[in-house]
Amino acid sequence: MSTIHSVDLYPLFVLLKRPYGDANGWKMHRAALIIRIHTASGISGWGEAVDWLPSLMRLFEHRIVPEIMHQDARHIQKWVQKIARWNRRAASAVSMALSEIATKQAGCSMCDWWGGKLHTRVPVYASFQSYVQKERWDRLAVDQVLAAYEAGFRQCKVKVGGRTLQEDQRHIQLLLNELPANARIAIDANESYDAAAAQAWLPLLAQSNRWLWFEEPISLKHAEAYRDLKRQLTIPIAGGENLTVSKDYLPLLQERALDIVQPDPMHLGGIEAYRHMLALARTHGLRVSPHTFDGALSRHYAVLAQACLPAWSKMQGDELEPVEWDAMENPLGELLSIKPREGHVVVPDEPGIGAEVDEELLQALKWDGSGY
C-alpha cells in the first residue's frame, strides 16, 4: 500500500556557542524542520526545509499534512506542485520524502532511480562564514581554513563583502600566504558590491591561479553587469543560490553572465525541479556547484544528483564540480551518517538515499517552541 499513513515533524533548533556570519549578517542559531512521511506498507522517507520555524510548523500541521494524509505517495509531482504554490521550501521537503519512498518501493538507490550514477565519488569543498565578533577575525578565519585542510579538504570557500575592502583583502592575502599551494579557494561576496567595488579585487585575484571562483560579487538582478564583469575577470564567476524558479536563471544564461551556476535543492520547489536546473546548466555548457549550506539532507540530495551529472570536462581529477559542505559549528549537519573523506563523499548504493538519520540527535535538538 502506497497510501500516506502518517507524517512526523521534527522542528530543530540550536543556539550557537559563538555567532558567525557573512555580509548578510550574524547567525546566532541554526534551525531546520525535518519531516518523515510513512506509508501504510511501512515504508518511510525523510525530507527537510529551512525557513522560519513557527510558520513552517503551522503550514505543515494545518495545511500540508491534512492535504496529503491518506493520499497516494506515488503522485509526487501532483503534491509537490500544489505545495510549491504555498511554500517552495516546504514543497522541496515533501519532494525529498516522497522520492525516497518511491525508490525504496522500487528497491533501488536514488541514483538508480534517476538512471544510474556516473561518478562513484563526489568532491566537496569546506564552506566558511568568515566573520566572528573578535578583533582579529581574519586570523581566526584563516585558522579555520587551515584546520579544514588538515582534515582532508583541498577546496574551500570564504566570505568577503561584510567588512571594508581593505580588511577583506587583508584576510584573503593572509589566506593565500598560509594555505598550502595545492589548496583552491573560492570567495563569496553575497551580492555586496557594485561593479566598481568588484573590479577593485582584480589586482589581488591576478596574483594567484588557485581560485575556484568569485561568487556573487554584485546583485544577480543585473545580468548585463555580470556579463561585463565576467569579461574582465581572469577567474570563473558563480552565482544563483537564491533563485527559486528555473526561469529566473534565463537572463543570466542568455547573457552568458556566469561560468558556474549554484542552485540550491531546497529553494527550487522540489528535487525534480532542481535536477531540471542541472540539466539546463549543462545544456548551456555551464558548470554547476550547488549551494547547500543550510541543510544536511538537501546537501546529501545534491551529492546524489551530482553523481548522476555528466562530467563538464575531460580533465582527470577536475571533471566534476564540488558540492558545498558546511564547515562551521552546526550540530544539524551531523544528522546523516554520510561524511566526507579526503575532500570527497562516496556515493551510496543502498535503497533510498543510502544514509541513516540520527534519531537520537533529532530528539536532542528538538525545538521546544519557545522564542528565538
Examine residue 29 and state whether it is found in any structural domain, yes or no: yes
Distance CA 30, CA 353 (A): 23
| Domain at 236, CATH number | 3.20.20.120
Examine residue 263 and state whether it is found in any structural domain, yes or no: yes
pLDDT, residue 26, reads 94
The band of 1, judged by pLDDT with boundaries at 50, 70 and 90, is: low
Cell numbers that stand for 215 in this block = 561568487
Q: Choose one of 107, 140, 166: the last residue of a domain.
A: 107
Give yes or no: residues 34 and 172 share one domain. Answer: no
Question: Number of structural domains, the chain?
Answer: 2
Give me the half-sphere count of Cα atoms (radius 13 Å) on the Cβ side of residue 30.
21
Examine residue 132 and state whether it is found in any structural domain, yes or no: yes
pTM score, whole prediction: 0.95
* Model confidence at 371: pLDDT above 80: no
State yes or no: is 291 an active-site residue.
Answer: yes
- The answer to whether 39 and 1 are in contact (CB under 8 A) is yes
The band of 350, judged by pLDDT with boundaries at 50, 70 and 90, is: very high
Catalytic entry in 38, 117, 157, 159? 159
pLDDT, residue 147, reads 97
Give yes or no: residues 227 and 126 share one domain. Answer: yes
Q: Choose one of 57, 76, 107: the last residue of a domain.
A: 107
Q: Look over the chain and give the mean of its residue pLDDT values, rounded to a whole number.
A: 95
Examine residue 371 and state whether it is found in any structural domain, yes or no: no
Identity of residue 306: Q
> Among residues of the chain, what percentage have pLDDT more than 70?
99
Distance CA 345, CA 307 (A): 10
**82-137 residue pLDDT tens:** 999 999 999 999 999 999 999 999 999 999 999 999 999 999 999 999 999 988 99
Give yes or no: residues 314 and 283 share one domain. Answer: yes
Give yes or no: residues 39 and 131 share one domain. Answer: no
Question: For 248, which DSSP code?
Answer: G
Please, what sign has the CA dihedral across residues 293, 299, 305, 311? Answer: positive
Catalytic entry in 171, 291, 300, 344? 291
Examine residue 358 and state whether it is found in any structural domain, yes or no: no
Give yes or no: residues 83 and 132 share one domain. Answer: no
Q: What count of residues does the chain have?
A: 372
Examine residue 359 and state whether it is found in any structural domain, yes or no: no
pLDDT, residue 372, reads 67
Q: Choose one of 107, 135, 152: the last residue of a domain.
A: 107
* Model confidence at 325: pLDDT above 70: yes
Distance CA 112, CA 102 (A): 12
Give yes or no: residues 281 and 150 share one domain. Answer: yes
Give yes or no: residues 70 and 171 share one domain. Answer: no
pLDDT, residue 89, reads 96
| Domain at 97, CATH number | 3.30.390.10
Examine residue 307 and state whether it is found in any structural domain, yes or no: yes
**CA-based nearest residue to 88, from 68, 59, 110:** 59
Give yes or no: residues 209 and 307 share one domain. Answer: yes
**200-220 residue pLDDT tens:** 999 999 999 999 999 999 999
Give yes or no: residues 232 and 288 share one domain. Answer: yes
Examine residue 118 and state whether it is found in any structural domain, yes or no: yes
Distance CA 332, CA 294 (A): 9
- The answer to whether 327 and 153 are in contact (CB under 8 A) is yes
Give yes or no: residues 103 and 117 share one domain. Answer: no
Distance CA 326, CA 127 (A): 5
Q: How far is CA 56 from CA 130, 219, 293, 347, in A?
A: 29, 28, 19, 31
What is the extent of the structural domain holding 60?
Answer: 4-107
Give yes or no: residues 186 and 326 share one domain. Answer: yes
* Model confidence at 246: pLDDT above 90: no
**CA-based nearest residue to 103, from 69, 76, 71:** 76
User: E strands, the chain, where?
Assistant: 4-22, 25-39, 44-49, 121-127, 131-132, 155-159, 184-188, 211-215, 237-239, 260-261, 287-288, 323-326, 344-346
Distance CA 160, CA 144 (A): 15
Q: What is the dihedral of CA 99, 100, 103, 109, to 10 degrees?
A: 120
**CA-based nearest residue to 311, from 288, 290, 333:** 288
pLDDT, residue 370, reads 84
Distance CA 324, CA 330 (A): 14
Element spanning 191, H or E: none
Give yes or no: residues 155 and 230 share one domain. Answer: yes
Cell numbers that stand for 93 in this block = 521537503
